[in-house]
Amino acid sequence: MSLVLNEEQSILQQSAAEFFSSVSPVTAFRDLRETSQAYDAETWSQMVELGWSSILVPEDLGGLEFGLTGMGVLAIEGARTLAKSPLSSSAAVSVAALNHCKPSTQRDALLSALASGAKTAAFAHLETAQFNPSIIRTQSASAADGFNINGRKSCVENAQSADVVLITARSPDAGYSDSNGFVLLIDPNAEGVESNSIGLVDEREYADISISDFKIAKDEKLEWNDGAALTQVINTATVIAACELYGCSLEAFERTLEYVKDREQFGHKIGSFQALQHRLAHQYTQLELLKTVIYDALSAVEKMRKDASLAVSHAKALANDTAKLVTTEAIQMHGGIGITDELDIGLFYKRARVLRTLWGDSVYHRSHFASLSGY
């Protein structure tokens, strides 16, 4: 179990921090709000050049096999500037999903294309507004030369801008369990695939996808490697969301710290008021715990440790709670300007508010943690 970044990971972290603050600062997020683009293509191609799209891709398919901790470091640093890109949805989650599928020409080609930046993908699994990863109603039935698909997927990140959407599904005759589910490759813009964009408060690209009697070819259906595959992909998505929450929280906290050291009221820096000091000190303790637990969860998923699901539920629950505390306090301590759109603080709160819901809230993850612990 490693809770400290190694030399290569530290170097990645530094270059990511420099990249995001210079190439994709919060102003870039603001500029994109004015357009209908999901992300800036030029920025993404720079990220691809840096090798970030191939971090999780196997070496024999042109990837770096750098490991999930490296991806987590990028997610943390990217969240600090609210950077928009297909990094999480495509390079992390979709690649992880494909990695857990049995090799096939289609799968290998897609992985290579994702690594090279030729394509991006989105991963569509959840079907309900409240997080419930065990429900899969989407079905695919055998049909002439391929499969016939029916189902709905809820709030899929970067679906409309992706070239391929990975849809989890099951056979019509099977009650769902990991071992008989599979992954379907779908063009989100094909006829018969209806996607409705969902504008959430974090102003990113989400869509509900509705598929009825849509046909795919035989080789566009991929099989999971084993019965644990889906759980591992969900763990990847969840821990990456936790990383983004950590990045948002850390940035909001550090900006608040800077603000209270500068802002004066009643003739004193407000950062010298003991009540604020104690609240900030407490937040700092929570952020340090979160850092530990995030690194542990990344390492657990990367190494496929037996307690990976437990570590991930821990990380997401603590990330949710810490982000709620820290981003809410950041607004409160900034006072009036904290609620203006002009200041970035509110943007971190809004992004964190969405991430707290995506991939499971704390009530869900504490219950999951308890179940996995046997109580």
Binding to other proteins, residues 166-205 (CB under 8 A): 196-203
From the list 16-24, 238-246, 271-279, 313-321, the region that binds a second copy by CB under 8 A is 271-279
Q: What distance in Å separates the CA atoms of residue 81 and residue 95, rounded to the nearest whole number?
A: 24
Question: Which helix (H) or strand (E) is 146 found in, with range?
Answer: strand 146-157
Site track for other proteins across 105-144, x = CB under 8 A: -----------------------xxxx-------------
Which residue type is seen at 245?
L
Which one of 37, 134, 212, 265 is in contact with other proteins (CB under 8 A)?
265
Partner from a second copy, other proteins, none contacting 106, C-beta within 5 to 8 A by type: none
82 Ramachandran zone, left/alpha/beta (phi>0; psi -120 to 50): left
The single residue listed with the structure tokens 């698909």 is 149
Q: What distance in Å separates the CA atoms of residue 2 and residue 295, rounded to the nearest whole number?
A: 8
Partner from other proteins, a second copy, none contacting 336, C-beta within 5 to 8 A by type: other proteins
Map the footprint of a second copy across residues 31-50, applying CB under 8 A.
none
How big is the site for a second copy, counted in residues (CB under 8 A)?
Answer: 5
Residue whose CB is less far from other proteins, 92 or 293: 293
Map the footprint of other proteins across residues 63-102, applying CB under 8 A.
none
Residue whose CB is less far from other proteins, 23 or 257: 257
Which one of 36, 175, 281, 306 is in contact with other proteins (CB under 8 A)?
281
374: contact with other proteins by CB under 8 A:
yes
Are 327 and 348 in contact, with CB atoms under 8 Å apart?
A: yes
Which one of 295, 298, 301, 312 is in contact with other proteins (CB under 8 A)?
295
274: contact with a second copy by CB under 8 A:
yes
Q: What distance in Å separates the CA atoms of residue 344 and residue 252, rounded to the nearest whole number?
A: 9
Burial code (b: 16+ CB inside 10 Å, e: under 16) for 28-38 equals bbeebeeeeeb
Which one of 10, 277, 340, 371 is in contact with a second copy (CB under 8 A)?
277
The distance of closest approach from Cβ of residue 8 to other proteins in the complex, given in angstroms and rounded to an integer, is: 13
27: contact with a second copy by CB under 8 A:
no
Which residue type is seen at 216?
I
How big is the site for other proteins, counted in residues (CB under 8 A)?
Answer: 83
Edge to edge, the sheet with strand 206-217 lists 139-143, 146-157, 206-217, 193-197
The distance of closest approach from Cβ of residue 112 to a second copy in the complex, given in angstroms and rounded to an integer, is: 54
Residues in the chain: 375
From the list 23-31, 103-111, 224-232, 342-350, the region that binds other proteins by CB under 8 A is 342-350
Which one of 84, 107, 255, 366 is in contact with other proteins (CB under 8 A)?
366
From the list 89-97, 108-116, 225-233, 312-320, the region that binds other proteins by CB under 8 A is 312-320
The distance of closest approach from Cβ of residue 103 to other proteins in the complex, given in angstroms and rounded to an integer, is: 34
Map the footprint of other proteins across residues 147-166, applying CB under 8 A.
154-155
Cα pseudo-dihedral 124, 128, 130, 131, rounded to 10: -40
263: contact with a second copy by CB under 8 A:
no
Question: Contacts for 55-64 with beta carbons within 8 Å, 24 or more apart?
Answer: 55/91, 56/91, 56/92, 56/95, 56/96, 56/99, 57/95, 57/99, 57/111, 57/112, 57/114, 57/115, 58/99, 58/111, 61/108, 61/111, 61/112, 61/115, 62/112, 62/115, 62/116, 63/111, 63/115
Which one of 35, 275, 306, 375 is in contact with a second copy (CB under 8 A)?
275
From the list 84-92, 194-202, 268-276, 292-300, the region that binds a second copy by CB under 8 A is 268-276
Partner from other proteins, a second copy, none contacting 289, C-beta within 5 to 8 A by type: other proteins
Question: Which helix (H) or strand (E) is 311 found in, with range?
Answer: helix 308-334
Are 232 and 308 in contact, with CB atoms under 8 Å apart?
A: yes
Which one of 152, 273, 303, 325 is in contact with other proteins (CB under 8 A)?
273
Going by their DSSP bridges, the two strands 164-169 and 121-124 should be labelled as parallel
DSSP state of 46: H
Interface with a second copy (CB under 8 A): 273-275, 277-278
